[in-house]
Amino acid sequence: MWFPPALIDLPNVAPVTLPEADRPSWLFWILMGPCASGWLVAYGLAIYRAKLDKRVGIPVFVVEVNLAWEFTLSLVLDQADVQRPINLSWFLVDCFILRQTLAYGWKDYPGMSRRAFRWMVFGVIAWSAVFHIMTTYELKDATGIYTGTGLNVFLSLSFIFMLNRRGSSLGQSMYVALAKGIGSFFAGWTVLVMYPGHHLFIFLFLTVWTIDATYCVLLYRKVREEGRSPWAWNRGPAEVPDGPAAGDVARPEERPEEREAAVRGAASG
């Protein structure tokens, strides 16, 4: 059977085997500085917002995967010396955010008991750690660029899913969204400077930047829809709409069917 010729030929040398580009160290740090600062500000403001609203400011999926990534690439796998202390610092920050996740994150999953939610959180962390170890080993990815860049797409999407699931701006702020977007923007340029011939990275970071910009627009519209200023620093918590986001009024270990039974019992009494 005849087929037309392929449109794209595979390279003789797989880009994954190519070393980092030769670039001055000052260029790396000029880009890495705003990247780390953006994410640090985003994490700090998200922690602050979570304390106000009693809802996590970082999506549960992001916390799980990030914690596993930073744990494996700082304490388990052999990685670049300059990167390991940075990853360990982020791992310690993630441990603090994990505490907030266990305290408030179950509210985004009203169909689960708190015990089931905790099992899910630690199960995803364990699975992610194994995935990071195996992928990094297979690719001999000493900087964790492939796993980190690929997961960035899903991490950015998680913020949009969180906003849609809650139906409100609870736990979220424009400052977190912008700081996260700035961090991802400079992370992308850092990677592209290190690996200019890796077209996969260009595609992935263009996707991340598009998703981050979309989240900023959606969050801005949601806060305005709630009748408040998106730039108010200490705005009060949003009204919880009817539906899944109302799960934060449930008792810790209570399931939906148990709440319904309690309501029927009170009405009949």
**Is the residue at 1 inside a domain?**
no
DSSP state of 5: P
Question: How many domains are contained in the chain?
Answer: 1
Question: pLDDT band at 253, cuts 50/70/90?
Answer: very low
Question: Residue 79: pLDDT above 80?
Answer: no
**Is the residue at 6 inside a domain?**
no
pLDDT digits (tens, 9 = 90+) for 81-139: 777 888 888 899 999 999 999 999 999 998 999 999 999 999 999 999 999 999 988 98
**Is the residue at 240 inside a domain?**
no
**Is the residue at 203 inside a domain?**
yes
Average confidence (pLDDT) over 55-82 = 88
Predicted pLDDT at 212? 96
Question: Residue 247: pLDDT above 60?
Answer: no
Predicted pLDDT at 174? 94
Predicted pLDDT at 242? 46
Predicted pLDDT at 130? 95
Predicted pLDDT at 32? 85
Question: pLDDT band at 29, cuts 50/70/90?
Answer: confident
Give the integer Cα–Cα distance in Å for 177 and 222: 13
Predicted pLDDT at 207? 96
Predicted pLDDT at 228? 86
Question: pLDDT band at 42, cuts 50/70/90?
Answer: very high
DSSP state of 9: P
Give the integer Cα–Cα distance in Å for 180 and 41: 8
Predicted pLDDT at 77? 86
- Averaged pLDDT of the chain: 84
Token representation of residue 55: 């809802």
Question: Can you state the angle between helices 60-71 and 145-166, rounded to 10 degrees?
Answer: 160
Question: Residue 178: pLDDT above 90?
Answer: yes
**Is the residue at 265 inside a domain?**
no
Predicted pLDDT at 184? 93
Which of the two residues, 73 and 234, has the higher pLDDT score? 73
Question: Residue 263: pLDDT above 50?
Answer: no
Ranking 60-69, 115-124, 237-246 by mean pLDDT, the lowest is 237-246
The reported pTM is: 0.81
Give the integer Cα–Cα distance in Å for 260 and 251: 13
Domain extent, residue 82, equals: 22-235
Q: How many CA atoms lie within 13 A of 97 on its CB side?
A: 29
Predicted pLDDT at 264? 53
Question: pLDDT band at 213, cuts 50/70/90?
Answer: very high
Predicted pLDDT at 84? 83
pLDDT digits (tens, 9 = 90+) for 145-159: 888 888 899 999 999
**Is the residue at 157 inside a domain?**
yes
Give the integer Cα–Cα distance in Å for 199 and 183: 21
**Is the residue at 140 inside a domain?**
yes
DSSP for 38-86, please give it.
HHHHHHHHHHHHHHHHTS-SS-HHHHHHHHHHHHIIIIIS---TTHHHH
C-alpha closest to that of 230 among 187, 143, 169: 169
